[in-house]
Amino acid sequence: GDVYKRQNGETVREPWRYVDTQKDQVTYRGRLIRPEKPVYILLNKPKNTLCTVRDERGRRTVLDLLEGAPPVRLYPVGRLDRNTTGILLLTNDGELTKKLLHPSSKVPRTYRATTIKPISPADVERLLRGIPLPDGVAQADEAYLEDPYTLVLTLHIGKKHIVRRMLEYLGYKLKSL
């Protein structure tokens, strides 16, 4: 149906009307609509935790870990695989989320990958040159060995399972990420 709201005393029927949240007052069905204050939470995501709002199979999600968080709808910015650990941002700030995730932003992501067998320096060079994957070439912005089994890799690509797929292409199985 049509959208009806009152903006500063005027009835508005079009859903695209610009609202200045600092000046305008918007009511819907007699109730004043107030924008939520932005909330930002950095979470050190443990293993066996999903980066989703809810899971139909009842598995633990990042939101299950947020006891005591403000009562706003929070969403994870990006994803980490269920068994990947690391820093994850959760927020209700849609603008920031778009900026961070849009490919044009080229926001770097740094990973620490530990493999079962030692990583050769030649393969580190191959990661820097680019790995041909079915969905395109995946190239590391930076890559270096912390020790023979631990690779630190920086990418601006946010594709699904990208680090795992790059290393599997080179014949490595991950112990942790």
The 10s digit of each residue's pLDDT in 52-81 is: 888 889 899 999 898 888 888 899 998 888
**For a pLDDT cut of 90, what percent of the chain falls above it?**
55
pLDDT tens-digit map of 131-142: 999 999 999 999
Q: What is the pLDDT of residue 138?
A: 96
Q: What is the pLDDT of residue 105?
A: 85
The DSSP annotation for 75-100 comes to EESS---TT--EEEEEES-HHHHHHH
Predicted TM-score (pTM) of this structure: 0.72
Reported as a pLDDT band with limits 50, 70 and 90, residue 4 is low
**For a pLDDT cut of 70, what percent of the chain falls above it?**
96
| Residue 156 Cα distances to 58, 68, 98, 113, angstroms | 32, 33, 15, 16
List, in sequence order, every residue forming a beta bridge with 11; answer none if it has no partner: 6
Q: Which of 173, 168, 74 is nearest to 127 (CA)?
A: 168
Q: Is the pLDDT of residue 35 over 90?
A: no
List, in sequence order, every residue forming a beta bridge with 76; answer none if it has no partner: 90
Q: What is the pLDDT of residue 117?
A: 97
Alpha-carbon span 65 to 85, nearest angstrom: 14
Active site (catalytic) residues: 81
What is the average pLDDT across 20-34? 80
Q: Is the pLDDT of residue 2 over 60?
A: no
